[in-house]
Amino acid sequence: MTPIFALENASYRYPDGRLGLAETTLEVRERESLVVLGANASGKSTLLGLLGGLIFPSGGRVIAYGTALTEAALQDGEFARSFRQRVGVLLQDTDAMLFNSTVYDEIAFGPLQLDLPEDQVRRRVEDTLDLLGLRSVADQPPHRLSGGEQRKVALGAILAVSPEVLLFDEPTSGLDPRFQRWFVELVIELRQAGKTLVTATHDLHIADVIADRVVVLDEDHKIAAEGRPRDILTDLDLLLSVNLVHEHAHVHDGELHIHPHTHLHEHEHAE
């Protein structure tokens, strides 16, 4: 299968000189669900920014749909247009995602840019509102909603564009267990609908449920491992070395168990 994205020794350095991502080579294949795991500051968001054409590599190349992503390529023209329609990005910072005066407008913003006819835009918005259970707040300004609701609006704003590739940066942060569950189901349905997903997270459980393939970034901002979730998520030494688990994690019957690191209560487990 042809890869949708290919990073060829791509690296990124922020304008202030800090390294965001060290030289990385990676492919994202069509219709796969790739999870990027890494501790805080390992470079997950930087990687997603590169894939989403929001920042451009300082070294190496990022190829998407056979074209190198550069500032010039995404400036204007047919490629820019189709790329933005095909690739949706959920930023980690919800603040930056919500810039409309109402939830309704927020979700309508993307479809409007596609020049869809008005009735189709409206249908997409209403379906999205229903999908996320946001209908009752449709006329509210997004900044008056709770953190979790804001996250949902940001997610809805991307879904309404219906991109082929969805880049999710910490999609479940700030969401209650019920919504996390819902999110997992959404991902399964999106997969059935033929979407390609790249999810950045440090939540091992989410990774376990939604990933076909896992990439682990270490604290030097490079890929420490890549493989099937089964193999990666049971490799305690690896997870320890990249600070995704602490010493109190165990593997039972091929399942990862994480116990809170605390001495307040004695805990026992049957081996």
Partner 1 sequence: MLPEWISEQTAARAAPRRRHTGYLSRSLRDMARVVEDAIFCEQSARRAGFLQRLDARVKLFSVLALAVGATFLHHLPSLLALGVFALAMLLVSRVGLGTVFSRSWWVMPAVFALVAVPSVLSVFVPGDPLVALPWGLSITRQGVASAAVLVTRIAAGMMLALMLALTTRWQELLRAAYTGVTAPFVLVATMMYRYVFVLLRVAENMHLARRARTIVPLDAAQERRWVGGRVGALFLRSRRLSEQVYSAMLARGYRGEPKVLVRHAVGARELAWVLGCAVFLAGILVFDRAVLGEMAW
Q: Which residues bind ligand ATP (CB under 6 A)?
A: 14, 16, 18, 20, 38, 40-46, 92, 202
Is residue 199 close enough to count as binding Mg ion by CB under 5 A? no
Q: How far is the CB of 138 from Mg ion (least distance, A)?
A: 29
Other C-beta atoms closer than 10 Å to the C-beta of 268 total 5
For ligand ATP, the closer of residues 33 and 45 by Cβ is 45
Q: How far is the CB of 154 from Mg ion (least distance, A)?
A: 14
Nearest to 153, CA basis, from 195, 96, 98: 98
For ligand ATP, the closer of residues 21 and 137 by Cβ is 21
For ligand ATP, the closer of residues 127 and 208 by Cβ is 208
Q: How far is the CB of 91 from partner 1 (least distance, A)?
A: 6
The interface region with Mg ion, picked from 62-70, 90-98, 147-155, 214-222 by CB under 5 A, is 90-98
Q: How far is the CB of 89 from ligand ATP (least distance, A)?
A: 13
Is residue 92 close enough to count as binding Mg ion by CB under 5 A? yes
Distance CA 104, CA 110 (A): 11
CB 225 within 8 A of CB 249: no
Contacted by 268, from partner 1, ligand ATP, Mg ion, none: CB < 5 to 8 Å by type? none
Is residue 150 close enough to count as binding Mg ion by CB under 5 A? no
Q: How far is the CB of 45 from Mg ion (least distance, A)?
A: 3
Please identify which residue in the block is written with the tokens 């997870």.
Answer: 239
Distance CA 97, CA 78 (A): 24
Q: How far is the CB of 89 from Mg ion (least distance, A)?
A: 12
For partner 1, the closer of residues 76 and 271 by Cβ is 76
Q: How far is the CB of 92 from Mg ion (least distance, A)?
A: 5
Side chain identity at residue 32, one-letter code: E
Contacted by 259, from ligand ATP, partner 1, Mg ion, none: CB < 5 to 8 Å by type? none
Residues in contact with partner 1 by CB under 8 A are: 49, 52-54, 74, 76, 80-81, 84-85, 87-89, 91, 93, 95-102, 105, 108-110, 112-115, 118, 121-122, 139, 141-143, 157-158, 161
Other C-beta atoms closer than 10 Å to the C-beta of 231 total 12
Is residue 45 close enough to count as binding Mg ion by CB under 5 A? yes
User: Which residue ranges make up the site for Mg ion (CB under 5 A)?
Assistant: 44-45, 92
